[in-house]
Amino acid sequence: WDYNSNMDVVLADLEIGGETVKALMHAPKNGFFYVIDRKDGRLISAEKIGKVTWATHIDLETGRPVEVPGSRYEDGEAEVWPGPVGAHSWHAMSYNPLTGLAYIPTIEMPGTFRDTGIDLKAWESPSFRTSVGVEGFTEDTPAGIGSAALLAWDPVKQQKAWSIPLPENWNPGTMTTASKLVFQGRADGVFLAYDAETGAELWSTMLGSGISAPPVTYTVGGVQYVSLLVGWGGALPAISGTLAAQHGWAYKAHPRRLFTFALGASVPTPPSPPPVMPTPLDVAGLTIDEELADEGHTLYSEVCAMCHGGGAVSGGKAPDLRASPISTDKATFTDVVKNGRQPLGMPRFPEFGDRELDALYAYIRRQARRSLTTASR
């Protein structure tokens, strides 16, 4: 299910059962919030912070999840919550000892798993290609497939204190302060401050691009500052297609900037271009070989989708190939794929033969034409 645990770990002194526990708090992808005694590693509690269908609970004696039969899709296809991006992904949570709450950017989105079309005895992971031994994850991820929220979580009671709906679906980490504020940016480019006790919105500003990074705070000369890197990126904008593209943060259309705020500051926010939705281009008169395009679909999913987006819909991390003039001209397209544009981040693929290049070209042209056909309905 891709439930790794590289999410942040927060240390705190928690009052549990009348005792002060030097605790370790962790909310990995799998949908559970763990509280562990960091002196001896004892698991104190673990509860769900979102929709979880792969396990019923965590066994506190062993620390192991109690799995739901069939969630490993051993009998065919299974829809599993949370999906591969997790209930909490890489974006940092924060904890405020004055409120006793952890502030977590959460995601509610499923994943569909099946391996019925794969010979698992013969399968092996290829070099420098994406193939995980599971069908799926090769198409565009549509908007509306999931939701997101800023969750205030009580680690002692192991329950929600409050939550705020967020834009779909890749919102950054949080920062909380001694003045009982919570700061967080959003996927739609808005930066906000909330009341850490109630979740009430206190302040917001539009920063002109999707935000992926958490804010930081510091003091210089007795003045407190809050700084935030603004720029759309990360795993979901790289691979998810329309789910990330819906906000309009297209490749190279918006500047990456560092914003710094202070009370009483009067410098106006610099302007930024409006959201951009790439327009697919068609090649008039081109006949698309469907069988070749199907081959290109497989190759694209293994090699190109990690940057250019599932289904050839870019989430903003790389050019949208449906709208790129380069991908309309076969000779230019071949040159770029084989020789790369390394100063711009495009690697070389000199090992691709004519059949593979033809297949990739056919697939991208088919995706562009289908997008235009759908848009005209």
Task: Identify whether 2 is a catalytic site residue.
Answer: yes
Q: Which residues lie below 8 Å from residue 167, measured CB to CB, with a gap of 6+?
A: 148, 186, 187, 188, 247
CA distances for 44 relative to 16, 24, 36, 210, angstroms:
9, 10, 5, 37
Backbone dihedral angles phi then psi of residue 143, each to the nearest 5 degrees: -65, 155
Give residue for tokens 């967080």: 184
Catalytic residue among 2, 8, 195, 329: 2
The distance from CA 355 to its chain's CA centroid, rounded to whole angstroms, is 33
User: Residue 159: enclosing H or E segment and its boundaries?
Assistant: strand 159-166
With left for phi above 0 and alpha for psi between -120 and 50, is residue 3 left, alpha or beta? beta
Straight-line distance from the first to the last Cα atom of the chain, in angstroms, rounded to the nearest whole number: 37
Query: What is the spatial order of strands in the sheet that 216-220 belongs to?
Result: 216-220, 223-230, 257-261
For 368, the token pair is 């562009």
* CB burial of residue 74 (10 Å; 0-12, 13-18, 19+): exposed
**What residues are labeled active site?**
2
